[in-house]
Amino acid sequence: MTTRNGERGNGDAARIEPAVHAISQESRRAAPVAQHLQRQLANGFVLYANFKRYQWQANGPLARDLHALFDALGAEVLAMLDPLAERLRRIGQDPVAAPDEVLGKAGVVPAPVSLTPREMIEQAQAHAALVIREMRDAVRVAADDDDPRTADLLARLVQVHEKHEWWLRDLLERGDRLLR
């Protein structure tokens, strides 16, 4: 409530303070929603690094096409990092960023140096499937926790990973002998 001279009345503070406290309590570090967001941010960092490694190591008859594909997939994953980190900040958390934090939270594992093009695609497809499963779980947790903003963010991001998994699966299923 605002008084005639533009100052807030005591009623506003009394009404706002409990809501602010409740929101900050819901977003404590151990909250399941925060843990899911941290995991997906960490997964995104590792996925991005993996796509760059695959891009740089692409070889064989499809090297040029794979180089472009992995670059495009990496760029889409990179674009997901800020929305995830910003959502964590909005709910009062510090996003993981240091390499040891990222590797400690991620379910996706770093790609080894020497993979064949087929192995790169198989690993990328398996990682996409893992992230899709985890993000779908996170959407349910956020919805159950009455956090529609996080549920919406994760639902939008899972669609990108579903597209990646589809493209990678399609490459593997065609088995056109160009992937060794």
The number of beta carbons lying within 10 Å of the beta carbon of residue 140 is 13
What is the tens place of the pLDDT at every residue in 141-166?
999 999 999 999 999 999 999 999 99
SS3 180: coil
- 63-90 and 32-57 are packed helices; what angle lies between their axes, rounded to 10 degrees? 160
CATH class of the domain at 32-174: mainly alpha
Whether residue 100 is predicted with pLDDT greater than 60 in this model: the reply is yes
Distance (Å) of CA 87 to CA 41, 44, 103, 104: 10, 14, 20, 20
- For position 174, what pLDDT does the model report? 82
127: tokens are 């990682």
SS3 161: helix
Domain extent listing, the chain: 1-30, 32-174
Rounded mean pLDDT of 162-180? Answer: 84
Asked if 58 and 66 count as a contact pair (C-beta separation under 8 A), the reply is yes
What is the tens place of the pLDDT at every residue in 103-139?
999 999 999 998 999 999 999 999 999 999 999 999 9
What is the tens place of the pLDDT at every residue in 7-53?
555 666 666 666 555 555 455 556 899 999 999 999 999 999 999 99
Query: What's the CA dihedral at 100, 104, 108, 111 to 10 degrees?
Result: 40
Give the N- to C-terminal CA distance of the chain in Å, as an integer. 70
CA nearest 105: which of 34, 157, 55? Answer: 34
**Is the model's pTM score more than 0.85?**
no
* Alpha carbons 68 and 98: distance in angstroms, whole number: 28
